[in-house]
Chains A and B, each alone.
Chain A
Amino acid sequence: MPKATRKIVVALSGGVDSSVAALLLKQQGHELIGVSMQVWDYRNHGGCSTRATCCAPSDFMDARKVAAVLDVPYYVFDFESSFREKVIDKFVRSYQQGYTPNPCVECNNKVKFGELRARAHTLGFEQVATGHYARVEGEAGRKRLLRGIDGNKDQSYFLYGTKAAELGATIFPVGALTKPEVRELAKAAGLVTAEKAESQDICFVSGSAGEFVARIGGRRPAGQITDKSGQVLGHHDGIHNFTIGQRRGIGIGGNEEPIYVVDIDAASNQVIVGPKEELEREGFRVAETNWINPELLETLAKDGAAELSAIAQVRHRHAGVPVTLKIDQNGACSARFVSEWSTISPGQAAVFYDTANIEVLGGGTIVR
C-alpha cells in the first residue's frame, strides 16, 4: 500500500543534507514547501569571513536552486528577533558567565522546532523535516528518537529537546543514510549542493567566539589566571575569551605538561588552569532537562528505582560513556560516571542515551 501523501515543510539550509532530505520526500510524492530561516543578518554584525556557515545569504541561493530543481515552493522565513532573543542573547550571557554554551541545541528547540513548526502549522503543514542525521522510530504516540545510522555524522545530540509528541510530526529523511550515500544521491539528482563543504562550528560566529561575545555583549574585564590553589600564573583579557577544556591560546608557557583551562570563575573573574586530570569529574548535574518520553519518569517512580543506567554524551563528537543517573521527580538530574571519569564543560548539553547508546532518553545543560 502506498504511503499517504503528507504536507511537509522541509527546512533548507542550502547544504547537501537538507537538499537530499527534500529530494527524498519529493520522490515519495509528498506535498512540500522548502523554507530557509533568516536568523542572523551579517550585514548588521560585521560581515562574515568564513564560508563554512549555514545561515549566510549565499547558502539561501543554493537552497533556492535546489527547491527550483525539485519544483518545491520556496520561502525565506524571518526568525531574526526570536533567534536573537532565544539563541544569541543566551549564548553571549552564558559565555560572560564562564559557561561554554551550545547554541545549536537552543536553535533546534526554540527556532527550528518551535517557530518553524508554529509557522508551518499556520499554513496547514503539520510535518517538519530537516536534514539532521537522526532517526524517529516507533508507532504513533510512542515515537523514539534514535542516533543516525552514520556514526560520524549523528546529530541526535542536538535534538534532545524534542518531545515524543512532536516526534510524530518530525521527519529526518537522511537519518538512515550515511553521508557518502547522501552525497551520491545529491550527485545523481544533479543538485548543486552535492559537493558542498560541511558546515562547521557555530553558524553565526565567523571569527572566535570570544570576539563575537565581545562585539555583541561587550568585553569582560581582564583578570587573573591562577592554578587550583589560587596561585597567580598570569593574566587574561576577559573570561569570555576562554572555554573550559581549552588548551591553546591560554598565554602561559614554560610548562612541562600541557595545561588546560579547568574552570572559569565568573564571580572572581578568574580563569583556572591545570593539568588534564583536573578537568575530569566523577559526575555532574544538569538543569533545564528534557525527557523525550515522559513515561520514563513515571516508570522510574512506579518501580521505585532511584537510579538509571545510561550512556552520557557530554559534547558533540563525544562517543558517550556509561553513567548512573539520579532523576528527581521534577526531572532534574545528576549523573555519575561508572567506569571512567570524563572531562565536562558547564554550559554544554549532556545527552543521555539508552545503554545500547542508540535511543535518546533526554538531556539537559551541564551546570556547575
Chain B
Amino acid sequence: MRKFINLDANASYGPLPALKPSSILDSDYLNPSSIHRGGQRAKAAIELARDRVRELVGSDSALKVIFTSGATEALNLALNFPPEVARGRTIVSTTIEHPAVLAALQRFEKFGGVVRWVAPGRNWEFSEAPFLNALAEKPLLVNLMCVNNETGQLLPVAEISQALRSAGYRGLVLSDAVQAAGKLDLSFAGLGADMLALSGHKIGALPGVGALVVGNRTDLEPLVVGGPQEGRLRAGTENVPGIISFGQAAEYVRQNLAHRLARYAALRDTLEREISARFPDTIINCANTERVANTSSLTFPGVNADDLVVALDLAGIGISSGSACASGKPEPSHVLLAGGLAPATARSTVRLSFTAEAADDELAYCIEKLGDAVERLRGAA
C-alpha cells in the first residue's frame, strides 16, 4: 500500500527525515535543572537548540528564545496582559489571525481592553493606513501574522512596523511567524517586531514544542508559574526531546532554505497549473498576493470541501478544509470570509500544503486523485 501523503504540512509537517532520533532520545538526558551530569547534558542540549532556533530568525544573540508547549502558548504568553494592564488599552490586530490570537484578544477585551480589528482589502491587501489611524489611541500592541496559515499569504509586517515606528509608535509589535519559518528567510530584525511566535512541528520537529522569540520586552507575565525554568517565564521541566528536535529542524530548514523553496514552488505551481487546466473554474485564493511557496488555497465551486477531504483521505492523501479542526463542525473559515469569499464559496475551499520531501510521483498521484474526487463529487451533487 502507498505511503500516506501529507498534503497538509501547514497543519503538521511530520517529523523531518533529517531529525536524529538517537540524540533526541538520548538516555543520558535527565532533568535539565539537576546539578549532576545527567542534568548538565540535558541543559546543554537545550541551550544548543535555543541557539539553533535563534539562528532561524537571524543570529542576534540579544534575542530571548522562550520555549513553550507550542505556538499557541507562545502567542498566549505574548498577549498575556493582566486586567490592570489591559483596562482601557488598545491592541490593533488583523482579522485573519490564528484562533490562538483571536481567543487571546477576546480575553483582552474581557479584561477591559479594546481591540481594533484590521480586515484585508478587496484583494487581501493590508495597507498601513488603518494601523496608523489607530495610533491616536496609543496602542499597547500591534499584531499581524507573517504568513497566513490558510492561504499562505505573506503579510507586510516589515513595511507596517516600519511605518508605525516612523510615525512614532513605541508600543509592541507581535507577529505569528509559525507559517513563515522554513518558507522564507526569516529575520527578526528585518521584520521590526518585538516578539515572534514559532512552532516546532510546523517545521518538522516533534509536536509539543514552540517558542516565543523576544527582543527588548521586560514585562512578560508567565502563564505557567513554578520553577525558574526559561528565565522564570515558563515553569515546568523542559520538553527535552521536543526542544532538541526543534533545534535540529530549525537548523535543517535554515541551511536548506534555497533548494527547499525551489522545490515548494515547483510542486505547488505544477499542481495549480494542472488542476486549473482540468477545472478552469478553480479559484486560487490569494493568487495575486505575495504568498509562501508551499500553500495552495483552492476553491472548487459546487464541491463540499469536507467531502473532498474525506475522499482524498480514502485515497491516502491528507488535505484540509480551512484550518485543522477535529471537532467535525464545519464553520466556514473566518480567514476566507474576511478575504471576501461568500460562505458557500468558503465551504468549497480546501487547503493543500506541501512538504519539501514530496516526490514527483506523489505529486502526480495527488493531482490525479484530487481531480478525480472533484469530478466525482460534482457528479454526485
A residues near B, CB below 8 A?
A: 33, 36, 38, 41, 60, 73, 75-78, 80, 119, 121-124
Given contacts A33-B314, A119-B307, contact A124 B376 (CB under 8 A): yes
Contact across chains for B329 and A80 when beta carbons are under 8 A apart: yes
Residues of B within 8 A of A124 (CB): 311, 376
Contact across chains for B329 and A38 when beta carbons are under 8 A apart: yes
Contact of A78 among B310, B313, B330, B381 (CB under 8 A): B330
Contact across chains for B328 and A123 when beta carbons are under 8 A apart: no
- Determine whether B35 belongs to the interface, using a CB cutoff of 8 Å to chain A: no
With A and B bound together, what is the CA distance between A41 and B311 in angstroms?
26
Tell me which residues from 296 to 336 in chain B have a Cβ below 8 Å from any Cβ of chain A. Answer: 304, 306-307, 310-311, 313-314, 327-330
Residues of A within 8 A of B376 (CB): 124
Shortest Cβ distance from residue B129 to the other chain A in the assembled complex, whole angstroms: 39
With A and B bound together, what is the CA distance between A122 and B374 in angstroms?
11
- Determine whether B380 belongs to the interface, using a CB cutoff of 8 Å to chain A: yes
Shortest Cβ distance from residue A8 to the other chain B in the assembled complex, whole angstroms: 13
Shortest Cβ distance from residue B108 to the other chain A in the assembled complex, whole angstroms: 23
Residues of A within 8 A of B381 (CB): 122
With A and B bound together, what is the CA distance between A36 and B327 in angstroms?
11
Contact across chains for A122 and B328 when beta carbons are under 8 A apart: no
Residues of B within 8 A of A80 (CB): 329
- Determine whether B377 belongs to the interface, using a CB cutoff of 8 Å to chain A: yes
Given contacts A33-B314, A119-B307, A123-B314, contact A76 B328 (CB under 8 A): yes
With A and B bound together, what is the CA distance between A124 and B372 in angstroms?
12
Q: Mark B338-381, 1 if CB is under 8 A from A, else 0.
A: 00000000000000000000000000000000000000110011
Shortest Cβ distance from residue A68 to the other chain B in the assembled complex, whole angstroms: 14
Which residue of chain A has the shortest Cβ distance to B314 in the bound complex? A73
Contact across chains for A78 and B380 when beta carbons are under 8 A apart: no
Number of residues in B with C-beta < 8 Å to the partner?
A: 15
Contact across chains for B310 and A75 when beta carbons are under 8 A apart: yes
Residues of A within 8 A of B313 (CB): 73
With A and B bound together, what is the CA distance between A73 and B328 in angstroms?
14
Residues of A within 8 A of B306 (CB): 78
With A and B bound together, what is the CA distance between A124 and B310 in angstroms?
11
With A and B bound together, what is the CA distance between A38 and B329 in angstroms?
8
Given contacts A38-B329, A77-B328, contact A122 B307 (CB under 8 A): yes
Which residue of chain A has the shortest Cβ distance to B307 in the bound complex? A122
Complex A-B: 6 CB contacts under 8 Å: A60-B328, A73-B314, A78-B330, A122-B381, A123-B310, A123-B311
Which residue of chain B has the shortest Cβ distance to A33 in the bound complex? B314
Residues of B within 8 A of A60 (CB): 328
Residues of B within 8 A of A122 (CB): 304, 307, 377, 380-381
Shortest Cβ distance from residue A241 to the other chain B in the assembled complex, whole angstroms: 32
Shortest Cβ distance from residue A347 to the other chain B in the assembled complex, whole angstroms: 31
B residues near A, CB below 8 A?
A: 304, 306-307, 310-311, 313-314, 327-330, 376-377, 380-381
Which residue of chain A has the shortest Cβ distance to B329 in the bound complex? A78
Residues of A within 8 A of B327 (CB): 76
Contact across chains for A75 and B328 when beta carbons are under 8 A apart: yes
**20 additional A-B residue pairs with CB within 8 Å, beyond A36-B328, A77-B328, A121-B380:** A38-B328, A41-B329, A60-B328, A73-B310, A73-B313, A73-B314, A76-B327, A76-B328, A78-B306, A78-B329, A78-B330, A80-B329, A119-B307, A122-B377, A122-B381, A123-B307, A123-B310, A123-B311, A124-B311, A124-B376
Shortest Cβ distance from residue A127 to the other chain B in the assembled complex, whole angstroms: 15
Residues of A within 8 A of B328 (CB): 36, 38, 60, 75-78
Residues of A within 8 A of B311 (CB): 123-124
With A and B bound together, what is the CA distance between A141 and B302 in angstroms?
33
Shortest Cβ distance from residue A60 to the other chain B in the assembled complex, whole angstroms: 8
- Which of A76, A80, A123 has the most C-beta atoms of chain B within 10 angstroms of its own C-beta? A123
Residues of A within 8 A of B304 (CB): 122
With A and B bound together, what is the CA distance between A123 and B307 in angstroms?
7
With A and B bound together, what is the CA distance between A123 and B312 in angstroms?
10
Residues of B within 8 A of A77 (CB): 328
Residues of B within 8 A of A75 (CB): 310, 328
Shortest Cβ distance from residue A192 to the other chain B in the assembled complex, whole angstroms: 19
Residues of A within 8 A of B307 (CB): 119, 122-123
With A and B bound together, what is the CA distance between A38 and B330 in angstroms?
11
Residues of A within 8 A of B329 (CB): 38, 41, 78, 80
Which residue of chain B has the shortest Cβ distance to A37 in the bound complex? B328
Residues of B within 8 A of A41 (CB): 329
Which residue of chain A has the shortest Cβ distance to B377 in the bound complex? A122
Shortest Cβ distance from residue A42 to the other chain B in the assembled complex, whole angstroms: 13
With A and B bound together, what is the CA distance between A60 and B329 in angstroms?
13
With A and B bound together, what is the CA distance between A119 and B377 in angstroms?
10
Which residue of chain A has the shortest Cβ distance to B380 in the bound complex? A122
With A and B bound together, what is the CA distance between A88 and B313 in angstroms?
32
Residues of B within 8 A of A33 (CB): 310, 314
With A and B bound together, what is the CA distance between A2 and B380 in angstroms?
30
Which residue of chain A has the shortest Cβ distance to B304 in the bound complex? A122
With A and B bound together, what is the CA distance between A60 and B330 in angstroms?
16
With A and B bound together, what is the CA distance between A38 and B314 in angstroms?
21
Which residue of chain B has the shortest Cβ distance to A76 in the bound complex? B328
Shortest Cβ distance from residue A44 to the other chain B in the assembled complex, whole angstroms: 11
Shortest Cβ distance from residue B310 to the other chain A in the assembled complex, whole angstroms: 6
With A and B bound together, what is the CA distance between A41 and B330 in angstroms?
13
Shortest Cβ distance from residue A133 to the other chain B in the assembled complex, whole angstroms: 27
Shortest Cβ distance from residue B375 to the other chain A in the assembled complex, whole angstroms: 12
With A and B bound together, what is the CA distance between A117 and B380 in angstroms?
12
With A and B bound together, what is the CA distance between A80 and B331 in angstroms?
12
